Amino acid sequence: MGVNLGGWLALEPWITPSIFDAAGNSAVDEYTLCQTLGHDQATTVINNHYATFITYDDFAAIQAAGMNHVRVGIGYWAINPLPGDPYVQGALTYLDQAVSWARQLGLKMMIDLHGAPGGQNGFDNSGQKNVKNWGTGNTIAETLQTIQALTDRYARSSDVVTIIELINEPEASDDICKSYYDSGYADVRAITSNITVSICDKFYGPQYWNDFNPGPDLILDMHVYQIFDAGQVAQSPSEFFSNACGYGPEIKSSTHWTIVGEWSGALTDCAKYLNGKGAGARYDGTYPGSTYVGNCGAKTSGTVDELSSADKYNIRRYNEAQLDAYSQRTGWLFWTWKTEGAPEWDMQAQLNGGLFPQPLSDRQYPGQCGYPSPGPEPPTTIAVVSAKNVLSGLKNLFPGLSTTIWNEIIGVASS
């Protein structure tokens, strides 16, 4: 159980919109942010973000909240930069620092290749928006080189780095992805057997992958969102809760270790720039081709305190349903730890506002999925027995000793 450090070492406009707003309209992803600012200014701005957005205090707060893992996304350009890229360097220094912080606090880390050469899905979180060339040219070979370098760097830190995810949400053909997964798994295993390999389910669900097996110790990573479709975002809250619960049996039946590596408390797509910088939201009808469902209000850019009572109820209940469902197998990681103002997505803010359970087993809406919630360990009853009572019970074993001697022994034990 854990949380993603989204938008830290691979920037996303909706998580830190201030950085992209300050750069002007042309900065819509990390690639164009670096192009717009130029190398020197981009180096200063982005490395300042690395140094300040996530710190030791965040890791300590994550550990205090009961988490045991953090998932950190990073772009290929931090590990294996390619000629002509505008990206700047510095992320690896902070990834190394993260490993040190995690070790101090007893946390484990999952490192995820969030951006691959050529762009694997066209989302701004892959580095380049609307670019999907991964799987063509030399991009697979370049990605494998990146995974090899990443594994080699952290093979000696397997006490902390427990999982490497080969790629995040690829949209290339299934044949290309499976071939890459086979090769990537083999490359990691050629370096170490102490780090588990994770593959992304491509939003297919676990059953599709039951017969795919490049080797032992494989983790299937599911990502579950119900808001990036006009029909889904128009659901009633009760439908959100019910659909979340429905994932529990599906996950439990997986033949692989299965985690839900991304999910959130969002019942809308209202967060500023969530659908891309300058794009609107399906929920309030401002996204092209969408129909109005409701008012976004503070869900666009605000705080948990500014949310309506109904929003707070829905987020808390939705979080609980998802925790119950996603705990049915190997575990979960919430997306994401912090944002500049997206309260449906911000675990830190939700913890502080009572919308995310503390302790993690706490339930205001227990049993809503129809199967047991992962509850706290039952209290251990410790029998407190005084030395006097113990010795008095032993008296019968030594009938030859006088009552006077026994009373003296008991008196010493009681003093």
Q: Which residues are catalytic?
A: 169, 262
Q: Are strands 218-223 and 69-75 parallel, antiparallel or unpaired?
A: unpaired
Helix axes 387-394, 403-414, angle to 10 degrees: 160
Structure tokens at 25: 């309209």
223, 301 in Cβ contact below 8 A? no
Q: Provide the terminal-to-terminal Cα distance of the chain, rounded to the nearest Å.
A: 48
292, 284 in Cβ contact below 8 A? yes
- Distances, alpha carbon 185 to alpha carbons 72, 73, 165, 255, 291, in Å: 19, 18, 10, 18, 43
Q: Which residue has the tokens 């449906």?
A: 344
Structure tokens at 359: 């302790």
Selection from 79, 58, 77 nearest residue 67 by Cα: 58
Amino acid at 326: Y
> Residue 399, preceding bond cis, omega within 30 degrees?
no
Amino acid at 405: I
Selection from 292, 288, 286, 289 nearest residue 271 by Cα: 286
Amino acid at 255: T
